[in-house]
Amino acid sequence: MSTKTILVLPGDGIGQEIIAEARKVLAWAGKRVDLNIVEGLIGGTAYDLTGTPLPEETVIQGKEAHAVLLGAVGGTQWESLDYSVRPERGLLGIRKELGLYCNLRPAKVYPQLADASTLKKEVVSGIDIMVVRELSSGIYFGEPKGIETLPNGQRRGFNTLTYTTSEIERIAVRAFETARKRQKRVCSVDKANVLECTELWRQVVTEVHAKSYPDIELSHMYVDNAAMQLIRNPKQFDVIVTTNMFGDILSDAASMLTGSIGMLQSASLGDKCALYEPIHGSAPDIAGKGLANPLATILSVAMMFRHSLDMPQEAQMVEEAVSAVLDQGLRTADIAMAGEPTIGTAAMGDAVVAALS
Ligand code: IPM
Ligand code: MG
Protein backbone atom coordinates (compact mmCIF):
# COMPACT_ATOMS: atom_id res chain seq x y z
CA MET A 1 0.00 0.00 0.00
CA SER A 2 1.23 3.50 -0.74
CA THR A 3 2.56 5.74 2.01
CA LYS A 4 0.15 8.27 3.46
CA THR A 5 1.54 11.57 4.67
CA ILE A 6 -0.02 13.27 7.66
CA LEU A 7 0.97 16.79 8.61
CA VAL A 8 0.67 17.25 12.37
CA LEU A 9 0.34 20.82 13.68
CA PRO A 10 0.29 20.86 17.50
CA GLY A 11 -0.01 24.66 17.73
CA ASP A 12 -0.46 26.30 21.12
CA GLY A 13 -1.59 25.67 24.69
CA ILE A 14 -3.03 22.22 25.25
CA GLY A 15 -2.49 21.60 21.52
CA GLN A 16 0.96 20.24 22.35
CA GLU A 17 -0.34 17.81 24.99
CA ILE A 18 -3.34 16.46 23.13
CA ILE A 19 -1.38 15.98 19.91
CA ALA A 20 1.20 13.95 21.84
CA GLU A 21 -1.62 11.52 22.72
CA ALA A 22 -2.98 11.48 19.17
CA ARG A 23 0.51 10.59 17.99
CA LYS A 24 0.40 7.46 20.14
CA VAL A 25 -2.67 6.42 18.17
CA LEU A 26 -0.91 7.27 14.90
CA ALA A 27 2.03 5.15 16.02
CA TRP A 28 -0.37 2.25 16.60
CA ALA A 29 -1.89 2.74 13.14
CA GLY A 30 1.60 3.01 11.66
CA LYS A 31 2.14 -0.66 12.51
CA ARG A 32 -0.79 -1.57 10.26
CA VAL A 33 -0.50 0.98 7.45
CA ASP A 34 2.44 2.88 6.01
CA LEU A 35 2.18 6.38 7.52
CA ASN A 36 4.61 9.23 7.11
CA ILE A 37 4.11 11.73 9.93
CA VAL A 38 5.57 15.20 9.48
CA GLU A 39 5.28 18.01 11.99
CA GLY A 40 4.83 21.71 11.24
CA LEU A 41 4.33 25.09 12.88
CA ILE A 42 1.19 27.14 13.31
CA GLY A 43 -0.26 29.73 15.67
CA GLY A 44 1.52 31.61 18.41
CA THR A 45 4.24 28.97 18.57
CA ALA A 46 4.96 29.58 14.89
CA TYR A 47 4.89 33.34 15.45
CA ASP A 48 7.46 33.10 18.25
CA LEU A 49 9.81 31.04 16.10
CA THR A 50 9.30 32.61 12.67
CA GLY A 51 7.45 35.93 13.08
CA THR A 52 4.28 34.67 11.40
CA PRO A 53 1.44 32.44 12.68
CA LEU A 54 1.32 30.64 9.33
CA PRO A 55 4.74 30.05 7.77
CA GLU A 56 4.71 29.45 4.00
CA GLU A 57 6.36 26.10 4.68
CA THR A 58 3.28 24.97 6.65
CA VAL A 59 0.98 25.79 3.73
CA ILE A 60 3.21 23.83 1.34
CA GLN A 61 3.36 20.87 3.73
CA GLY A 62 -0.43 21.00 4.11
CA LYS A 63 -1.01 20.94 0.37
CA GLU A 64 1.34 17.99 -0.06
CA ALA A 65 -0.10 15.92 2.81
CA HIS A 66 -3.00 13.48 2.51
CA ALA A 67 -4.45 15.09 5.63
CA VAL A 68 -3.61 17.60 8.34
CA LEU A 69 -4.14 17.03 12.07
CA LEU A 70 -4.24 20.20 14.16
CA GLY A 71 -4.21 20.71 17.92
CA ALA A 72 -5.26 24.25 18.79
CA VAL A 73 -4.09 27.84 18.42
CA GLY A 74 -4.15 30.91 20.63
CA GLY A 75 -3.15 32.04 24.09
CA THR A 76 -3.20 35.08 26.35
CA GLN A 77 0.46 35.90 25.67
CA TRP A 78 -0.37 36.73 22.03
CA GLU A 79 -3.54 38.72 22.63
CA SER A 80 -1.85 42.11 22.39
CA LEU A 81 -0.32 41.38 18.98
CA ASP A 82 -1.64 43.07 15.85
CA TYR A 83 -4.60 41.18 14.34
CA SER A 84 -2.57 40.30 11.26
CA VAL A 85 -0.17 38.10 13.22
CA ARG A 86 -2.43 36.71 15.94
CA PRO A 87 -2.38 32.91 16.28
CA GLU A 88 -6.01 32.73 15.09
CA ARG A 89 -4.88 34.22 11.77
CA GLY A 90 -2.79 31.10 11.29
CA LEU A 91 -5.88 28.93 11.56
CA LEU A 92 -8.02 31.15 9.35
CA GLY A 93 -5.13 31.36 6.90
CA ILE A 94 -4.66 27.62 6.55
CA ARG A 95 -8.42 27.12 6.11
CA LYS A 96 -8.33 29.65 3.28
CA GLU A 97 -5.08 28.50 1.69
CA LEU A 98 -6.15 24.85 1.63
CA GLY A 99 -9.64 25.74 0.37
CA LEU A 100 -11.36 24.16 3.38
CA TYR A 101 -14.88 25.48 2.98
CA CYS A 102 -16.84 22.69 4.65
CA ASN A 103 -16.54 22.17 8.39
CA LEU A 104 -18.26 19.09 9.81
CA ARG A 105 -18.88 19.27 13.54
CA PRO A 106 -20.75 16.30 14.93
CA ALA A 107 -22.43 16.49 18.33
CA LYS A 108 -23.30 13.04 19.58
CA VAL A 109 -23.94 11.99 23.14
CA TYR A 110 -22.00 9.04 24.47
CA PRO A 111 -24.46 7.09 26.62
CA GLN A 112 -21.70 6.77 29.24
CA LEU A 113 -21.57 10.57 29.52
CA ALA A 114 -25.24 11.52 29.31
CA ASP A 115 -25.14 12.52 32.97
CA ALA A 116 -22.21 14.86 32.37
CA SER A 117 -24.33 17.29 30.36
CA THR A 118 -25.62 20.36 32.14
CA LEU A 119 -28.99 19.61 30.55
CA LYS A 120 -31.38 16.91 31.71
CA LYS A 121 -30.52 13.42 30.55
CA GLU A 122 -33.87 12.93 28.80
CA VAL A 123 -33.26 16.08 26.74
CA VAL A 124 -29.81 15.09 25.51
CA SER A 125 -29.62 11.31 25.43
CA GLY A 126 -29.69 10.05 21.90
CA ILE A 127 -28.92 13.34 20.16
CA ASP A 128 -26.95 13.02 16.96
CA ILE A 129 -26.47 16.37 15.25
CA MET A 130 -24.10 17.30 12.45
CA VAL A 131 -23.31 20.98 12.14
CA VAL A 132 -22.12 21.77 8.62
CA ARG A 133 -20.42 25.13 8.97
CA GLU A 134 -19.26 27.20 5.99
CA LEU A 135 -15.60 27.83 6.76
CA SER A 136 -13.79 29.94 4.22
CA SER A 137 -16.03 32.94 3.58
CA GLY A 138 -18.68 35.02 5.32
CA ILE A 139 -17.98 37.72 7.87
CA TYR A 140 -14.67 36.10 8.88
CA PHE A 141 -13.13 36.94 5.52
CA GLY A 142 -15.33 39.65 3.94
CA GLU A 143 -13.80 42.94 2.82
CA PRO A 144 -13.73 45.76 3.71
CA LYS A 145 -12.88 45.27 7.35
CA GLY A 146 -10.93 47.17 9.95
CA ILE A 147 -10.97 49.90 12.55
CA GLU A 148 -10.80 53.49 11.34
CA THR A 149 -10.80 56.91 13.00
CA LEU A 150 -13.52 59.24 11.81
CA PRO A 151 -13.05 63.01 11.32
CA ASN A 152 -15.01 63.60 14.54
CA GLY A 153 -12.46 61.55 16.45
CA GLN A 154 -14.78 58.56 16.97
CA ARG A 155 -13.42 55.19 16.00
CA ARG A 156 -15.45 52.89 13.78
CA GLY A 157 -15.01 49.13 13.53
CA PHE A 158 -16.43 47.24 10.56
CA ASN A 159 -16.58 43.79 9.00
CA THR A 160 -18.41 42.62 5.91
CA LEU A 161 -20.74 39.67 5.64
CA THR A 162 -20.56 38.32 2.11
CA TYR A 163 -21.51 35.14 0.27
CA THR A 164 -21.60 34.45 -3.45
CA THR A 165 -24.00 31.97 -5.02
CA SER A 166 -21.25 29.44 -5.72
CA GLU A 167 -20.01 29.62 -2.13
CA ILE A 168 -23.52 28.88 -0.87
CA GLU A 169 -24.17 26.18 -3.47
CA ARG A 170 -21.10 24.12 -2.62
CA ILE A 171 -21.76 24.10 1.13
CA ALA A 172 -25.45 23.32 0.53
CA VAL A 173 -24.44 20.35 -1.63
CA ARG A 174 -22.17 19.07 1.16
CA ALA A 175 -24.98 19.43 3.69
CA PHE A 176 -27.52 17.57 1.54
CA GLU A 177 -25.00 14.84 0.71
CA THR A 178 -24.21 14.48 4.42
CA ALA A 179 -27.92 14.24 5.24
CA ARG A 180 -28.39 11.50 2.67
CA LYS A 181 -26.15 9.25 4.76
CA ARG A 182 -28.05 10.17 7.92
CA GLN A 183 -31.69 10.92 8.69
CA LYS A 184 -32.21 12.95 5.51
CA ARG A 185 -33.14 16.20 7.25
CA VAL A 186 -31.38 19.54 6.78
CA CYS A 187 -32.13 22.68 8.77
CA SER A 188 -30.55 25.75 7.18
CA VAL A 189 -29.87 28.48 9.72
CA ASP A 190 -29.78 32.15 8.71
CA LYS A 191 -30.98 35.59 9.73
CA ALA A 192 -32.89 36.23 6.53
CA ASN A 193 -35.37 38.52 8.28
CA VAL A 194 -32.60 41.08 8.83
CA LEU A 195 -29.50 40.34 6.76
CA GLU A 196 -29.70 40.52 2.96
CA CYS A 197 -26.68 38.29 2.61
CA THR A 198 -28.45 35.48 4.43
CA GLU A 199 -31.63 36.10 2.46
CA LEU A 200 -29.53 35.11 -0.54
CA TRP A 201 -28.27 32.16 1.50
CA ARG A 202 -31.85 30.97 2.04
CA GLN A 203 -32.74 31.41 -1.64
CA VAL A 204 -29.73 29.50 -2.90
CA VAL A 205 -30.09 26.65 -0.39
CA THR A 206 -33.74 26.35 -1.45
CA GLU A 207 -32.75 26.26 -5.13
CA VAL A 208 -30.08 23.59 -4.64
CA HIS A 209 -32.61 21.53 -2.72
CA ALA A 210 -35.33 21.87 -5.33
CA LYS A 211 -32.94 21.01 -8.13
CA SER A 212 -31.16 17.94 -6.78
CA TYR A 213 -32.32 16.81 -3.35
CA PRO A 214 -36.07 16.13 -3.32
CA ASP A 215 -35.45 13.14 -1.04
CA ILE A 216 -34.13 15.41 1.73
CA GLU A 217 -36.43 17.33 4.05
CA LEU A 218 -35.32 20.97 4.16
CA SER A 219 -36.35 23.50 6.82
CA HIS A 220 -35.13 27.01 7.58
CA MET A 221 -34.61 28.62 10.96
CA TYR A 222 -33.44 32.01 12.17
CA VAL A 223 -30.25 31.76 14.16
CA ASP A 224 -31.71 33.14 17.39
CA ASN A 225 -34.46 30.56 17.30
CA ALA A 226 -31.94 27.84 16.40
CA ALA A 227 -29.88 28.71 19.49
CA MET A 228 -33.01 28.39 21.61
CA GLN A 229 -34.19 25.17 19.96
CA LEU A 230 -30.78 23.56 20.49
CA ILE A 231 -31.25 23.93 24.22
CA ARG A 232 -35.01 23.33 24.26
CA ASN A 233 -35.31 20.27 22.04
CA PRO A 234 -32.01 19.28 20.42
CA LYS A 235 -33.31 15.94 19.16
CA GLN A 236 -35.30 17.71 16.43
CA PHE A 237 -32.04 18.33 14.50
CA ASP A 238 -30.22 16.06 12.08
CA VAL A 239 -28.00 18.22 9.84
CA ILE A 240 -27.68 21.96 10.49
CA VAL A 241 -26.09 23.97 7.68
CA THR A 242 -25.08 27.54 8.34
CA THR A 243 -22.69 30.42 7.77
CA ASN A 244 -19.19 30.69 9.16
CA MET A 245 -19.96 32.80 12.23
CA PHE A 246 -23.33 31.26 13.07
CA GLY A 247 -21.70 27.84 12.76
CA ASP A 248 -18.89 28.86 15.09
CA ILE A 249 -21.41 29.84 17.75
CA LEU A 250 -23.98 27.07 17.29
CA SER A 251 -21.36 24.33 17.22
CA ASP A 252 -20.06 25.38 20.62
CA ALA A 253 -23.62 25.34 21.94
CA ALA A 254 -24.30 21.94 20.36
CA SER A 255 -21.09 20.56 21.82
CA MET A 256 -22.14 21.26 25.38
CA LEU A 257 -25.26 19.16 24.92
CA THR A 258 -22.93 16.20 24.77
CA GLY A 259 -21.42 16.87 28.19
CA SER A 260 -18.08 18.24 27.14
CA ILE A 261 -16.53 20.14 24.32
CA GLY A 262 -13.51 17.96 25.13
CA MET A 263 -15.12 15.02 23.32
CA LEU A 264 -15.82 16.56 19.94
CA GLN A 265 -13.83 16.11 16.77
CA SER A 266 -14.21 17.98 13.50
CA ALA A 267 -13.27 17.78 9.85
CA SER A 268 -12.58 20.74 7.58
CA LEU A 269 -12.87 19.66 3.98
CA GLY A 270 -12.16 21.23 0.63
CA ASP A 271 -12.12 19.77 -2.84
CA LYS A 272 -8.48 18.69 -2.47
CA CYS A 273 -7.32 19.02 1.13
CA ALA A 274 -8.62 18.09 4.56
CA LEU A 275 -7.82 19.14 8.10
CA TYR A 276 -8.96 17.48 11.30
CA GLU A 277 -9.05 19.08 14.71
CA PRO A 278 -10.81 18.98 18.05
CA ILE A 279 -13.36 21.77 18.25
CA HIS A 280 -12.22 23.02 21.65
CA GLY A 281 -9.52 25.67 21.67
CA SER A 282 -6.09 25.93 23.26
CA ALA A 283 -7.46 26.25 26.84
CA PRO A 284 -4.66 28.45 28.18
CA ASP A 285 -6.00 28.05 31.74
CA ILE A 286 -5.08 24.36 31.86
CA ALA A 287 -2.24 24.29 29.31
CA GLY A 288 0.90 22.47 30.42
CA LYS A 289 -0.81 20.85 33.40
CA GLY A 290 -1.56 17.48 31.84
CA LEU A 291 -5.28 17.88 32.53
CA ALA A 292 -6.69 18.26 29.00
CA ASN A 293 -8.95 15.64 27.51
CA PRO A 294 -7.19 14.13 24.45
CA LEU A 295 -10.27 12.23 23.25
CA ALA A 296 -11.55 14.89 20.82
CA THR A 297 -8.16 14.85 19.10
CA ILE A 298 -8.03 11.07 19.08
CA LEU A 299 -11.54 11.00 17.60
CA SER A 300 -10.35 13.53 15.01
CA VAL A 301 -7.71 10.98 14.03
CA ALA A 302 -10.50 8.42 13.57
CA MET A 303 -12.41 10.86 11.38
CA MET A 304 -9.24 11.42 9.33
CA PHE A 305 -8.75 7.68 8.89
CA ARG A 306 -12.30 7.37 7.60
CA HIS A 307 -12.65 10.46 5.40
CA SER A 308 -9.15 11.05 4.04
CA LEU A 309 -7.04 7.93 4.37
CA ASP A 310 -9.46 5.19 3.38
CA MET A 311 -8.90 3.39 6.68
CA PRO A 312 -12.47 2.76 7.86
CA GLN A 313 -11.49 -0.28 9.88
CA GLU A 314 -8.88 1.61 11.88
CA ALA A 315 -11.36 4.47 12.33
CA GLN A 316 -13.88 2.14 13.85
CA MET A 317 -11.28 0.52 16.08
CA VAL A 318 -10.26 3.92 17.47
CA GLU A 319 -13.88 4.90 18.07
CA GLU A 320 -14.52 1.62 19.85
CA ALA A 321 -11.38 2.07 21.94
CA VAL A 322 -12.63 5.50 23.07
CA SER A 323 -15.96 3.99 23.98
CA ALA A 324 -14.17 1.20 25.85
CA VAL A 325 -12.15 3.58 28.04
CA LEU A 326 -15.38 5.39 28.90
CA ASP A 327 -16.93 2.04 29.79
CA GLN A 328 -13.96 1.42 32.07
CA GLY A 329 -15.00 4.58 33.92
CA LEU A 330 -11.88 6.52 32.96
CA ARG A 331 -12.54 10.28 33.00
CA THR A 332 -10.54 13.44 32.51
CA ALA A 333 -11.73 16.32 34.68
CA ASP A 334 -13.98 17.86 32.00
CA ILE A 335 -16.14 14.74 31.68
CA ALA A 336 -16.13 13.64 35.31
CA MET A 337 -19.16 14.01 37.57
CA ALA A 338 -18.61 15.73 40.91
CA GLY A 339 -16.59 13.46 43.18
CA GLU A 340 -15.60 11.01 40.43
CA PRO A 341 -11.88 10.15 40.26
CA THR A 342 -10.07 11.67 37.27
CA ILE A 343 -7.02 10.87 35.20
CA GLY A 344 -4.71 13.12 33.18
CA THR A 345 -4.05 13.63 29.50
CA ALA A 346 -1.28 11.05 29.08
CA ALA A 347 -3.05 8.37 31.10
CA MET A 348 -6.13 8.80 28.92
CA GLY A 349 -4.05 8.51 25.74
CA ASP A 350 -2.32 5.39 27.10
CA ALA A 351 -5.68 3.86 28.00
CA VAL A 352 -6.95 4.30 24.45
CA VAL A 353 -3.81 2.69 23.02
CA ALA A 354 -4.12 -0.16 25.53
CA ALA A 355 -7.72 -0.68 24.44
CA LEU A 356 -6.55 -0.79 20.83
CA SER A 357 -3.87 -3.38 21.41
C1 IPM B 1 -13.24 27.47 15.97
C2 IPM B 1 -12.53 28.58 16.66
C3 IPM B 1 -11.92 29.49 15.62
C4 IPM B 1 -13.05 30.08 14.80
C5 IPM B 1 -10.98 30.58 16.16
C6 IPM B 1 -9.90 30.02 17.05
C7 IPM B 1 -10.40 31.41 15.07
O8 IPM B 1 -13.38 29.24 17.53
O9 IPM B 1 -12.61 26.75 15.18
O10 IPM B 1 -14.44 27.31 16.23
O11 IPM B 1 -13.65 31.08 15.21
O12 IPM B 1 -13.33 29.54 13.74
MG1 MG C 1 -15.29 28.32 17.77
pLDDT for 6-45, tens place per residue? 999 999 999 999 999 999 999 999 999 999 999 999 999 9
- Same-domain check for residues 246 and 133: yes
Statement to judge: residues 80 and 117 lie in one domain? no
Helix and strand element counts for the chain (H, E)? 12, 12
With a CB cutoff of 8 Å and minimum separation 6, the contacts of 228 are: none
Q: Active-site residues: which are they?
A: 140, 191, 224, 248, 252
Q: Are residues 97 and 138 in the same domain?
A: no
Of the candidates 263, 291, 307, which is a domain's last residue?
263
Do residues 108 and 45 both lie within one domain? Answer: no
* Containing structural domain, residue 157: 104-263
Ligand 1 centre to CA of 86 (Å) is 12
Q: How far does the centroid of ligand 2 lie from the alpha carbon of residue 281, in Å?
A: 7
- Regarding whether 160 and 69 lie in a shared domain, the answer is no
- Starting from the CA of residue 86, give the closest ligand: 1
Q: Residue 296 CA: which ligand is closest?
A: 1
Give the β-pairing of 102-108 and 67-72: unpaired
User: Which residue, by CA, sits nearest to atom 6 of ligand 1?
Assistant: 88
Count of structural domains within the chain: 2
Q: Where residue 311 sits, what CATH number does that domain have?
A: 3.40.718.10
Residue 1 confidence (pLDDT) = 60
Residue 299 CA to ligand 2 center (angstroms) comes to 18
Last residue of some domain: 248, 263, 278?
A: 263
pLDDT of 320 reads 97
Identify the domain boundary among 214, 236, 263: 263
Residue-level length of the chain: 357
Quick one: 152 and 220 in the same domain? yes
107-147, pLDDT tens digit by residue?
999 989 988 888 999 999 999 999 999 999 999 999 999 99
Mean pLDDT of the chain: 96
What ranges in the chain are assigned the alpha helix state H?
Answer: 15-30, 43-50, 56-64, 87-97, 121-124, 165-180, 196-212, 223-232, 244-257, 295-307, 312-327, 345-356
Nearest-atom index, ligand 1, CA of 245: 11
Of the candidates 235, 238, 181, 240, the one whose C-alpha atom is nearest the C-alpha of residue 205 is 240
Q: Report the relative pairing of strands 4-11 and 35-39 from DSSP bridges.
A: parallel
Report the C-alpha gap between 210 and 146 in whole angstroms: 38
Q: Name every protein residue with a CB atom under 6 angstroms from any ligand 1 atom.
A: 74, 88, 91-92, 248, 281
Per-residue pLDDT 10s for the chain (357 aa) are 689 999 999 999 999 999 999 999 999 999 999 999 999 999 999 999 999 999 999 999 999 999 999 999 999 999 999 999 999 999 999 999 999 999 999 999 998 998 888 899 999 999 999 999 999 999 999 999 999 999 999 999 999 999 999 999 999 999 999 999 999 999 999 999 999 999 999 999 999 999 999 999 999 999 999 999 999 999 999 999 999 999 999 999 998 898 778 899 999 999 999 999 999 999 999 999 999 999 999 999 999 999 999 999 999 999 999 999 999 999 999 999 889 999 999 999 999 999 998
Residues 62 and 207 grouped into a single domain: no
Calculate the CA 119 to chain-centre distance: 22
